Amino acid sequence: MLAALQAWTRRQWWSALAGSVAILLVIGIPTDLIDTPLFSRSIAAPWWAVPVWVVSAILSGLLVGTYVDQATAPVDRRGGLGALLGFFAVGCPVCNKIVLIALGSSGAVSIFQPLQPVLAVASLTLLSWALKSRLMSTVACPVRRTVD
């Protein structure tokens, strides 16, 4: 995996950085981990929410970088699912409209909130697995797009 990262172009690294920043914003603003007047939390974020948010953003950004300059790159759905689970893992359980509709406010606190650490682990696992698969495939079968 390290060999694949060492072979990355500047464009891949910049894309990974842009992807990480985008995920930080896309997850951080609506979950109110980035304090804005647009959103608020009814329940404070647990201690592990910020590290999970940051690590998932880094992994997602690196995953974005694996798709840059690849001639044929089938999309790995594990990465998208991992990012989505990360969003649910760090979000406020009673602020999430989907959770409220499905479980109600008491269910959001008694059922969904205890599951959030499990979602966080699943998110990071899926993102790591997708990144490892993508990096290993570029080392095993490197294909680069050529400029004509």
Answer for the pair 19, 65: CB distance below 8 angstroms, yes or no: yes
Element (H, E) at 28: helix 10-28
- pLDDT at residue 18 greater than cutoff 90: yes
| pTM for this prediction | 0.86
User: Cα–chain-centroid distance for residue 47?
Assistant: 18
- pLDDT at residue 56 greater than cutoff 90: yes
> What pLDDT does residue 147 have?
58
pLDDT digits (tens, 9 = 90+) for 63-99: 999 988 776 667 778 999 999 999 999 999 888 888 8
Mean local confidence (pLDDT), 16-26: 97
> What pLDDT does residue 28 have?
96
Residues in the chain, overall count: 148
Here the tokens at position 32 are 């109110």
Which one, of 23, 80, 30, 79, lies nearest residue 53 by Cα? 23
> What pLDDT does residue 77 have?
87
Residue 145: helix, strand or coil by DSSP? Answer: coil
